Amino acid sequence: MPHGSPPAPAPIVLASRSPRRLELLSLLVPPARIVVCPPASSAEPGFEGLTTLPAIESQALSIAEAKRAAVAALRGPGFVLAADTVIVGGEVAQEGLVVLGQPPERPAGVEVVRGWFERFYFGRTHTALTAVAASSPAGMVRACAVRTQVTFSARHRDWLDWYLSSDEPWGKAGGYALQGLASLFVERVEGSLSNVVGLPLAETRELLKSLGALASAAR
């Protein structure tokens, strides 16, 4: 290293298997600075019995923090970022809220996703909630949760079979990707678009900035 050159910024470890989160984080920091290191175990607590947004949000924050802590313990001191995204359908005043995770694989998953569209999506508003947890080499931990309201139109029910025949519903919370084919069903989004995809950019940037992770970054 030439004399007087500033040290290279510390890497940011992304504790996630999601290619979409990697793409979004790459908008905030140079891709070469990101190290992908998912938690060793994919097992995590569920949302059974949780029917209110505060309770669901608290559980999502706990899951994100557990992912962060597991990877931080594995990697040692450094910047670590983890997140958990869920889709929440239903209404508290009626049947209570329901967390929609990743659907089962085909063929069983086809009817599961069809049911979600009919019960929670078409002509209704649901919530995309992402919890983010991050830590610094000094051990500081920050976390936040962001909610986005998404409304699907009821006009295109006849497109559902075509949608279910695609590869899009599988491996995604709620059985859809806002940036994919499901965008054809979207009527309105209130809040962060990137939050629905899997990482709220503005809030994540503030978390990383508060931890000193962006002090030497080019972005």
- The answer to whether the CB of 198 falls within 8 A of the CB of 18 is yes
Residue 48 has a CB neighbour count (10 Å cut-off) of 8
DSSP 164-198: HTSSTTTTSGGG--TTTGGGGGEEEEES-HHHHHT
User: 184 in the Ramachandran plot: left (φ > 0), alpha (ψ -120 to 50) or beta?
Assistant: alpha
- The answer to whether the CB of 167 falls within 8 A of the CB of 175 is no
Residue 21 has a CB neighbour count (10 Å cut-off) of 25
| 167 classed as catalytic | no
* Residues that are catalytic: 84
